[in-house]
């Protein structure tokens, strides 16, 4: 059994008698800021620091063991503070709800690092189960509009890691990252214009026309070195996600200046004001970027002067130590409050197929004074907080349709897949309707009555269901599995990557790591595949390839 890390501090400060539990996905991975930056800092700040790395425990022991261990620590240690951050749903909502039941005095904090594109379908729902929210989204108004007034913008750097180094500037222009959004177009343009640029990061090998400037993947410990070796470091703000097309606040705008290096940044309203106000280092299009590259390569003194000015500001205002000292000082002074979930004065009714095929007049009578309609089927079960969260999502979004994710369940494997509804809706529309199950939906009564034929066809799995498409402006997604569906539609291997998470592989991995090669689950996995679910075998071969898993194995300490 993995041991819980315990760190003690002799430092005398305002938190010397306090205990913090750091329980996040990445706090066991030495390459993440949660491990590399936060743990040494919290060791100084708190009298006792407990560390539970979700990622390691999840892969080594499985989801059930992780949830049990998490609650056991809360019960045994009764921490004054819990700083929590998960990747998806490795800690179940019902587990989170038990924190306050076990240790009412614990002040709970959830960290959301991807609110730019995950707030609408993920962050806003987990936030209501915690006392405080830390977000890397500059506009905390997204929380305030949901009547969540406990959110704090917090985005920093460790100046002991990202720092000036006395290294030769061997590169003229560099970019670290993947070719998402329009980055490829920018880079190809710069290359065609004769800019001496070098690329680092994954997936650029998919573009053979850039192979002569691609230097491969860069591990985190090499970031500060490369930044220091570059005369000009580029930051592109746009991402693949719809909400990221206008630009997202990226860590590079803190990391590059903290190294005392020069940054050229793609302008976005989401950046901190200081960076936006430094117009000299911002660009909005390819032409402007090219002009500034050529200018600052020729004007070294001006370039260095700007780099020093931004360096001073970032280090003075955005070090993790100063940010967390202020944050914990503030919440340490807060009086204890009972955490209550938002009240929802809406009535939800479940409709079965037999009720759905009644006459419109009879259906209206059944609905009576209800507000929202959900659906039930013999092969599906609702998970805890399903009705609450879907009603809440309709209430706060003011939309007509709420669509949650679901578990695919079999007798042999239990919950073996999770359907990623929002992702499928945005990328694979036909497949979204193929895998959409009516029990995922909760809708307003008005929308239901206007679209009875659609729901009848969806219930009966008729092929023409996609002809009446769900409109983007009408639907709010909840990217949390709130339904379990037994033996849903068959899945092909090609459909896995875009549409599903794969709990079956995570469970398989934990048994292999524990050397439980003869566990019945592994036998059942291959039996399930032989029964027609061939995607299982194909996916196992894909995931077990060393190249695919090198980074995860490295972060877990299995390989160097």
Tokens of 437: 């199950």
Same domain? 268 vs 362: no
pLDDT value of position 435: 93
Which residues span the domain enclosing 380? 348-501
CATH number reported for the structural domain that contains residue 256 in this entry: 3.40.50.2000
**Residue closest to 187 by CA, chosen among 211, 222, 171:** 211
Note whether 17 and 146 are same-domain residues. Answer: yes
Per-residue pLDDT tens over the stretch 202-224: 889 999 999 999 999 888 889 99
Average pLDDT of the residues in 188-195: 96
Please indicate, yes or no, if residue 327 is contained in any of the structural domains: no
Query: Is residue 331 included in any domain, yes or no?
Result: no
For CA atoms 537, 543, 544, 547, the dihedral sign is: positive
Q: Tell whether 106 is covered by a domain.
A: yes
Stretch (H or E) spanning 118: helix 115-118
- pLDDT above 80 for 560: no
**505/482 Cα distance (integer angstroms):** 20
Tell me whether residue 428 is in a domain: yes
The CATH number assigned to the domain holding 90 equals 3.40.50.2300
pLDDT per residue over 312-335, tens digit each?
Answer: 999 999 999 999 999 999 999 888
pLDDT at res. 557:
56
User: What is the phi-psi region of residue 101: left when phi exceeds 0, alpha when psi lies from -120 to 50, beta otherwise?
Assistant: alpha
* Total count of domains within the chain: 4
Tell me: pLDDT of 231 over 50: yes
Average predicted confidence (pLDDT) for the chain? 91
Element (H, E) at 77: helix 63-77
pTM comes to 0.91
Q: Is 471 helix (H, G, I), strand (E, B) or coil?
A: coil
Domain boundary among 120, 153, 186: 153
d(CA 91, CA 77): 18
Q: How big is the chain, counted in residues? A: 560
Are 18 and 138 found together in one domain?
Answer: yes
**Position 236 pLDDT exceeds 80:** yes
Question: Is it the case that residue 99 has pLDDT exceeding 50?
Answer: yes
The answer to whether 281 and 306 are in contact (CB under 8 A) is yes
Convert the pLDDT of each residue in 367-399 to its tens digit. 999 999 999 999 999 999 999 999 999 999 999
d(C-alpha 280, C-alpha 299), whole Å: 13
CA distance 183 to 286: 10
User: What is the DSSP-derived secondary structure letter of residue 220?
Assistant: G
Q: Are residues 74 and 210 in the same domain?
A: no
Give the list of residues 6+ apart from residue 361 with CB closer than 8 angstroms, or none.
none
Domain end point (choices 501, 521, 550): 501
164 domain residue, yes or no: no
One domain for residues 66 and 138: yes
What pLDDT band is residue 12 in, cutting at 50, 70 and 90?
very low
Q: What is the pLDDT of residue 550?
A: 53
In tens, the pLDDT along 456-465 reads: 989 887 666 6
Tokens of 103: 């240790």
d(CA 249, CA 266): 10
Closest to 225 in 3D by CA, of 200, 196, 249: 200
Task: Give yes or no: residues 182 and 299 share one domain.
Answer: yes
d(CA 505, CA 417) in angstroms, rounded, equals 9
| The predicted structure's pLDDT at residue 364 | 93
Domain ends where: 153, 182, 210? Answer: 153
Q: Residue 170: which residues within 8 A CB-CB, separation 6 or more?
A: 229
Tens-digit pLDDT profile for residues 254-285 = 999 999 999 999 998 888 888 888 999 999 99
Residues 357 and 497 grouped into a single domain: yes
In a domain, 196, yes or no: yes
Tell me, yes or no, whether 233 and 274 share the same domain.
Answer: yes
The span from the first CA to the last CA of the chain, in angstroms, equals 22
**Cα-flanking dihedrals φ and ψ of residue 531, to 5°?**
-85, 10
Residues 184 and 294 in one domain: yes
Spatial CA neighbour of 111 closest among 13, 20, 243: 20
Query: What percent of the chain stands above pLDDT 70?
Result: 92
Claim to verify: residue 291 and residue 404 sit in the same structural domain? no
Is residue 328 a part of any domain in this protein? Answer: no
> Would you state the torsion angle of the CA atoms of residues 488, 490, 493, 497, taken in this order, to the nearest 10 degrees?
-30
Percentage of the chain lying above the pLDDT 90 cut? 77
Q: How many Å is the Cα radius of gyration of the chain?
A: 25
- Look at residue 11 in the predicted model and tell me its pLDDT: 45
In a domain, 330, yes or no: no
Q: Are residues 354 and 496 in the same domain?
A: yes
Q: At what angle do helices 546-555 and 535-543 cross, to 10 degrees?
A: 60
Q: Are residues 385 and 484 in the same domain?
A: yes
| Helix ranges, 251-373 (H) | 252-258, 273-277, 286-298, 300-317, 320-333, 353-356, 360-367
């Amino acid at each position: 059994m993995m041991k819980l890390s315990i760190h003690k501090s002799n430092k005398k400060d305002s938190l010397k008698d306090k205990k913090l539990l750091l329980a996040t996905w990445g706090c066991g991975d030495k390459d993440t800021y949660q491990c590399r930056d936060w743990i040494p800092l919290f060791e100084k700040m708190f009298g006792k620091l407990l560390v539970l790395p979700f990622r390691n425990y999840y892969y080594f022991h499985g989801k059930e063991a992780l949830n049990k261990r998490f609650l056991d620590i809360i019960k045994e240690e009764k921490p004054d503070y819990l700083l929590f951050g998960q990747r998806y749903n490795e800690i179940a909502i019902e587990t989170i709800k038990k924190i306050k039941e076990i240790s009412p005095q614990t002040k709970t904090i959830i960290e959301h690092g991807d609110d730019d594109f995950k707030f609408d379908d993920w962050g806003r729902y987990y936030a209501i189960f915690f006392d405080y929210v830390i977000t890397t989204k500059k506009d905390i108004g997204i929380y305030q509009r949901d009547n969540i007034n406990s959110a704090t913008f917090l985005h920093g750097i460790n100046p002991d890691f990202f720092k000036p180094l006395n290294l030769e500037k061997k590169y003229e222009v560099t970019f670290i990252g993947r070719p998402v959004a329009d980055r490829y177009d920018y880079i190809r343009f710069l290359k065609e214009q004769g800019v001496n640029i070098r690329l680092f990061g994954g997936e650029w090998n998919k573009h053979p026309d850039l192979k002569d400037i691609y230097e491969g993947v860069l591990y985190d410990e090499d970031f500060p070195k490369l930044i220091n070796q570059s005369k000009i470091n580029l930051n592109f703000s746009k991402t693949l996600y719809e909400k990221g097309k206008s630009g997202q606040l990226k860590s590079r705008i803190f990391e590059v200046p903290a190294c005392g290096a020069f940054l050229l940044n793609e302008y976005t309203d989401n950046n901190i004001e200081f960076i936006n106000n430094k117009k000299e280092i911002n660009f909005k299009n390819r032409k402007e970027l090219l002009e500034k590259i050529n200018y600052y390569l020729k004007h070294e003194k001006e370039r260095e002067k700007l780099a020093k000015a931004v360096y001073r500001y970032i280090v003075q205002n955005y070090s993790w130590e100063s940010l967390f000292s202020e944050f914990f000082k503030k919440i340490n002074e807060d009086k204890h409050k009972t955490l209550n979930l938002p009240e929802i004065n809406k009535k939800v009714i479940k409709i079965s197929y037999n009720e759905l095929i009644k006459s419109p007049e009879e259906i209206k009578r059944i609905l009576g004074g209800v507000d929202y309609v959900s659906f039930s089927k013999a092969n599906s079960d609702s998970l805890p907080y399903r009705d609450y969260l879907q009603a809440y999502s309709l209430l706060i979004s003011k939309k007509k349709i709420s669509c949650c994710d679901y578990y695919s369940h079999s007798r042999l494997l239990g919950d073996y897949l999770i359907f990623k509804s929002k992702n499928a809706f945005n990328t694979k529309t036909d497949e979204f309707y193929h895998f959409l199950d009516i029990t995922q939906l909760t809708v307003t009564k008005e929308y239901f009555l206007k679209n009875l034929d659609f729901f009848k066809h969806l219930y009966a799995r008729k092929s023409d269901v996609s002809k009446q498409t769900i409109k983007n402006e009408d639907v709010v997604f909840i990217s949390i599995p709130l339904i379990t569906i037994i033996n849903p539609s068959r899945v092909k291997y090609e459909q896995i990557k875009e549409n599903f998470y794969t709990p079956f592989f995570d469970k398989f991995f934990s048994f292999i790591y524990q050397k439980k090669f003869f566990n019945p689950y592994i036998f059942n996995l291959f039996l399930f595949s032989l029964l027609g679910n061939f995607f299982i075998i194909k996916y196992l071969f894909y995931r077990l390839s060393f190249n695919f898993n090198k980074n995860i194995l490295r972060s877990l300490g299995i390989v160097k």
